[in-house]
Structures are given as C-alpha cells and as structure tokens.
Amino acid sequence: MSAPLFLVESLPVGLSFRLDGPEGHHAATVQRLRVGEGLILADGRGGTARGEVTAVGKGSVDVAVLSTAAEPAPDPRLIVVQGIAKGDRGELAVQAMTEVGVDEIVPWAASRSVAQWRGDRGFKARDKWASTAREAAKQARRSWLPVVGGEPDCSTKQVAARLSGVAAAFVLHEEATERLSAAVLPSTGAIALIVGPEGGISDAELEVFRVAGAVPVRLGSEVLRTSTAGVAALSVLAARLGRW
C-alpha cells in the first residue's frame, strides 16, 4: 500500500516537521502511524514532501523529511460544471470526479435541479462539496487539490460566460450524435464538461451553451445518472489526454 497523504498549509523548509492539528490527529489517532512508517505531505498546490515518522505524540507525529518535489499544474485543465443534485448524489459525484482527476468543479443551479442552494444553505452545501473533494484528493494521493468554487449556485448565464475563457467545452446530452471519445481536444488550456442534474438539461439551457461555444456530446448508448456521468466523461478525457 502506498504511503498516506496529509495536507499542510505549506511544505517543510527543514529536515524535520511536526504534523499536528486535524491532520496530525488523523495520522496519530485514526491511522495510527508508527515510527518508521512513510507518509506524504502535500500543500494542495503541487508541492509534496516524502518523509518517515520519527515520533508519535498525542494528536501529532514528528516527521523526518526525505525528499521534496513540485508537480506542475495539470494542462489541459479539466473543469466540470455539475448540476446540483438532491441528496448525496452531488457529493458522490464530487468524490468520484476528484479521484479520477477533475481540476475544478462548478456547482450549477440548473432549471431542473430539485435541490436549491440559496442563502446560507448554499454556502454550507458548497463547503460540503469542497470538504468531500479534499478528503477524496487525500485518498487518491493528489498533489493538486481541485477547486470547488465560485458562487454556490452558479446560474446558466454565469456558466455560459465562463465558457468564453476555456479552450473547449462539451455538454453531456443523451440526444447528441457526436461522441466524446471522438471529439477534437485542445492540447493546452481548459476543457469544460457540463453535466445536468437528475432531470437533465433543458432545450433552452442547451441552446444557451451552444451559443457560448459548447458542443453537445454523448458517451455511449446508455443514459448515466448525474452522479456517474461526470466521472465517466473524465475517464474518457484522462485516457485521451495521456493522464492515464
């Protein structure tokens, strides 16, 4: 099994480091790391440090830093505009997409989204997505944390405006004739994927995205749930872009 990863605000600058706080508690109390075991420290911005546990305290571990590295930001950058889903389906989508390499997730208040993120509830729900992405990134040993951001309930108009700054955009739609596996992909920049909620994407929304430059695509003959469509599409892109 590979060494566990823990997130820190900044990487160690010397040959020793004390991991404390919530991450230290997790290392010492939950994972029960022992002296001599290896671990990875990551700042979530591409920087990592590999180390070995030299002492275990109450809610902390001391680490001997063995090596450091800096991974460049992924390029092309993969952005998923995820329609807000009811229950835990949105969190399931965020978790799985983080594990397969999404770089940014934008919560989208689609016209057919059953759940509504308004006021404080919206910020709490977005923060829950961010927390889910953080934990999934640790499990996947990612050096770059995905961004879950912007407004907690980005409107269709705001999504369309965002598409003007990407190199390519695709809308997952069951009636599309073009397959994502055959779509033309840029070699650099950002690629945006738009995933609808449980009720799908309305004709009006699809037209707004078309005008903004997005291309409707499908994955196959099956119709996937909102919690699995994004991760399936990201898997296709990861293979085509050489990430996998």
Task: Determine the Cα–Cα distance for residues 190 and 179; give it in Å rounded to an integer.
Answer: 19
Distance CA(243)–CA(77), nearest Å, equals: 11
What's the pLDDT band for 232 if we cut at 50, 70, 90?
very high
Please work out, in degrees rounded to the nearest 5, the angle formed at the alpha carbon of residue 12 by the alpha carbons of 9 and 17. Answer: 105
Contact 105, 90 (CB under 8 A): no
| Residue 36 to residues 60, 66, 189, Cα–Cα distance (Å) | 15, 12, 42
* Amino acid 152: pLDDT: 75
d(C-alpha 175, C-alpha 43), whole Å: 42
**How far is the C-alpha of 65 from the C-alpha of 67, rounded, in Å?**
6
Q: pLDDT tens digit string along 100-136?
A: 999 999 999 988 888 788 778 888 889 999 999 999 9
> What is the percent of the chain with per-residue pLDDT over 90, rounded to a whole number?
81
For 218, residues 6+ apart whose C-beta sits below 8 A from its C-beta are 172, 173, 174, 175, 176, 177, 178, 179, 180
Closest to 226 measured CA to CA, from 100, 106, 113 = 113
Tens-place pLDDT, residues 5-56: 999 999 988 899 999 999 999 999 999 999 999 999 999 999 999 999 999 9
> Residue 54: what residue type?
T
pLDDT at residue 137 above 90?
yes
Domains and CATH numbers, the chain: 5-70 (2.40.240.20), 77-240 (3.40.1280.10)
H/E segment holding residue 50 = strand 47-57
The arithmetic mean of pLDDT across residues 52-63, rounded, is: 95
Q: What is the distance between the alpha carbons of residues 111 and 98, in angstroms, rounded to a whole number?
A: 25
What's the whole-number mean pLDDT along residues 224-234? 94
Least confident of 63-67, 141-145, 195-199, 236-240: 195-199
Residues in the chain: 244
Helix (H, G, I), strand (E, B) or coil at 13: coil
Instruction: Please report the pLDDT score of residue 13 as a whole number.
Output: 86
Q: Between helices 89-100 and 119-139, what is the axis angle to 10°? A: 40
pLDDT at 199: 87
pLDDT at 223: 86
